[in-house]
Amino acid sequence: MRTVYHYVNGETFEGTSGNTQPVLNPSTGKEQAAVALANKADVDSVIAESAKAQPGWAALNPQKRVRIIMEWIRLIHENMDELATQLSLEHGKTFPDAKGDVLRGVDVLEFALGAPHQLKGEYSSEVGTGIDTYSLRQPLGVVAGITPFNFPAMIPLWKAGPALAAGNAFVLKPSERDPSVPVRLAELFIEAGGPAGVLNVVHGGKEAVDAILDSDTIKAVGFVGSTPIAQYIYERCAATGKRAQCFGGAKNHAIVLPDADIDATADAIVGAAFGSAGERCMALSVVVPVGQDTADRLRDAILAKIPELKVGHCLDPEADYGPLVTAEARDRVHRLIAEGVEAGATLLADGRELDMSDKTFNEDSLADGFYSGPSFFDNVTADMSVYSEEIFGPVLVMVRAETLEEAVSYPNDHVYGNGVAIFTQNGGAARDFCKNVQVGMVGVNVPIPVPIAYHTFGGWKASGFGDLNQHGPDSFRFYTKTKTVTSRWPSDDSAGPQFTMPVM
Ligand code: NAD
């Protein structure tokens, strides 16, 4: 069986721990590879190699660095089918969705091509007589990314692209559940002309992460994953004096006003709730219609679409979505569904009933895959765990509200604040909503408002720790430090020592 090893200095690195973990094919439930898990000594040696490579990379002018990234983009496109197939087989998302995962990462590499502009700093002439002040944005040194299973291409690229373009060396610790694509992306960087050691990949769990957090060489950590780990990493980075931006879980609401086009809204909600089996941090998992009549119409429209959804093998071109990532993830989703029923919510579609026992794809049995059908609850209230917890599965819950004010109180009062959407024809209501809602990313008649690469991505409240967002201009601020130079020419006209603060 294949083992996915660490990738350091452009070569496979087996590490010294001897520990591995199975890599599953969620569509069949079968083990398809193993991944090496690094111990502290392995991580320390990877970081040391990165530190050796970084000064030479930083010395290359930014235009030359981004030409390598330009070639990297070309190679990613050239290898797209292989990358997306591998991604599907380890994650379980469908092949077209896997391509989207890679392409949304490439968007940020394209944004990073503007590094020469992003790094150019500011200049003020004559701040005093013969005195100029200017600022430089310089790389931090060696930085790390710790990323989740649900976007194994996009999120590593969101972090590595701007970090590398800014002149840092980047150590990637991807999710151990789908580790192959991150390694392949690093190989393509080397193939594109990237210097060995500038982009290294190390696999592992808590021991590997803790070694990154405790390293004095690592100057910044970009994390994406669940909220408890995000908070843990943020706190530990603060304790060891590192920059950190840590993005966590979500519970994204859609507010639906009575004037919304109900059929189009139901289409948007069904796609955003069940796409990728609900394993997206921007999945729409709560719908809040305003008024009982809106709720009844929307409920019926959603219910009419659910039986049309096809759940299947990730490479089945007919499948709307595939399996969950592991049996544990599916069992957790099914436990939460049971809790919703127990708490008194109305279960209108029960994904637990999906039977794959006699299903096959290309002669592979799907009986042991980690599937869950679409589930839909009505009459959910804020005290139920199906509402308060991030389910991260194909489960949509409806909370009924009498007024817009009451509807908006749900996303505002929720512990998470990643994404939110409003569906309406009323521009004034939408504008007020955008201004007042306490959530980081807002959609108006857009169910998954993931900002494009040249804006920034980040949630509020328990969805994001740290003050700078991912990608867009914030990413260059995060991965660089500012140096401000004040210079005076000519310098040979000393007026003698001065003992008060200089005032311009
Ligand atoms: P996770 O928190 O289990 O894992 C994320 C990373 O942390 C992985 O690399 C993992 O190896 C590491 N990790 C796991 N347990 C650890 C521990 N105890 N100590 C140190 N490191 C540990 O998350 P996941 O299941 O891979 O991803 C799903 C979560 O990510 C969801 O909550 C989802 O909402 C969130 N997510 C958020 C965003 C966002 O931008 N806000 C984007 C994508 C995913």
| Residues 123, 126: Cα–Cα separation, whole Å | 10
Output the pTM of the full model: 0.97
**pLDDT value at position 492?**
65
Using left for φ > 0, alpha for ψ between -120 and 50, and beta otherwise, residue 194 falls in beta
* DSSP-based three-state secondary structure for 105: helix
Tell the residue nearest (CA) to atom 43 of ligand 1.
281
Q: Which of 237, 281, 314, 434 is catalytic?
A: 281
Does 175 contact ligand 1 (Cβ within 6 A)?
yes
69 Cβ contact partners less than 8 Å away, ≥ 6 residues apart: 109, 112, 113, 161, 164, 165, 192
Does the pLDDT value for residue 493 go beyond 70? no
Our answer on whether the CB atom of 100 is closer than 6 Å to any ligand 1 atom is no
Q: Which residues of 346-378 are buried (b: 16+ CB within 10 A; e: fewer)?
A: ebbbbbeeeebeebebeebebebbbbbbbbbbb
| Percent of the chain predicted with pLDDT > 70 | 99
**Ligand 1 site, residue 176, Cβ cutoff 6 A:** yes
**pLDDT value of position 489:** 87
Determine the Cα–Cα distance for residues 378 and 344; give it in Å rounded to an integer. 10
Task: Please indicate whether residue 226, judged by its CB atom, sits closer than 6 Å to ligand 1.
Answer: yes
Task: For residues 58-78, give the mean pLDDT.
Answer: 98
- For CATH 3.40.605.10, the residue range(s) in the chain are 1-247+458-483
SS3 74: helix
Strands of 19-25's sheet, edge to edge? 2-4, 30-37, 19-25
The CATH number of domain 1-247+458-483 is 3.30.390.50: no
70-88 confidence digits (pLDDT tens) = 999 999 999 999 999 999 9
Nearest CA to ligand 1 atom 21: 206
Among 115, 144, 157, which residue's Cα sits nearest to residue 244? 144
Question: Cα(244) to centroid of ligand 1, in Å?
Answer: 15
pLDDT digits (tens, 9 = 90+) for 340-363: 999 999 999 999 999 999 999 999
Count the Cβ atoms, other than its own, within 10 Å of residue 465.
Answer: 23
Ligand 1 centre distance from Cα of residue 175 (Å):
8
pLDDT mean across residues, the chain = 97
Cβ-based neighbours of 200, under 8 Å, separated by 6 or more: 6, 7, 8, 9, 46, 49, 50, 169, 170, 171, 172, 186
Cα 176 to the center of its chain, rounded Å: 15
| pLDDT mean over 257-267 | 98
* Cα–ligand 1 centroid distance for 149 (angstroms): 7
- Residue 275 DSSP code: G
Q: What SS3 class is residue 457?
A: strand
439 pocket-lining for ligand 1 (C-beta < 6 Å): no
Ligand 1 contacts CB of residue 156 (under 6 A): no
**Under 8 Å between Cβ of 58 and 198:** no
Boundaries of CATH 3.40.309.10 in the chain? Answer: 250-442
Pairwise CA distance, residues 496 & 258, whole Å: 76
Nearest-CA neighbor of 200 among 39, 6, 34?
Answer: 6
3-state secondary structure of 129: coil
Cα(223) to centroid(ligand 1), Å: 8
Band of pLDDT at residue 412, cut at 50, 70 and 90 = very high
Please name the residue whose Cα sits nearest to atom 40 of ligand 1: 247
Give per-residue pLDDT as tens, 237-257: 999 999 999 999 999 999 999
Verify whether ligand 1 is closer than 6 Å to residue 205 (CB atom): yes
Pocket of ligand 1, candidates 37, 151, 207, 209: which has the most ligand atoms within 8 Å of its Cβ, to mutate? 209
Measured in degrees and rounded to the nearest 5, phi and psi for residue 91 equal -90, -40
- Cβ atoms of 211 and 44 within 8 Å: the answer is yes
Q: Please answer whether residues 120 and 146 qualify as being in contact, where contact means their C-beta atoms are separated by less than 8 angstroms.
A: no
Residue nearest to atom 9 of ligand 1 (CA): 175
| CATH architecture, domain 250-442 | 3-Layer(aba) Sandwich (3.40)
Helix (H, G, I), strand (E, B) or coil at 146: strand
pLDDT at 502 over 90: no
Position in ligand 1 atom list of the atom nearest CA 175: 9
Residue 2 pLDDT greater than 70, yes or no: yes
Ligand 1 centre distance from Cα of residue 459 (Å): 15
Respond yes or no: is residue 434 known to be catalytic.
Answer: no
Look at residue 450 in the predicted model and tell me its pLDDT: 96
Task: Find out whether the beta carbon of 200 lies less than 6 Å from any atom of ligand 1.
Answer: no
Cβ-based neighbours of 355, under 8 Å, separated by 6 or more: none
Q: Quick one: pLDDT band at residue 491, thresholds 50, 70, 90?
A: low
Quickly count helices (H) and strands (E) in the chain.
16, 25
Evaluate if residue 498 carries a pLDDT over 90.
no
- The rounded Å distance from CA 481 to ligand 1 centre is 27
- Give 188-241 pLDDT, tens digit per residue: 999 999 999 999 999 999 999 999 999 999 999 999 999 999 999 999 999 999
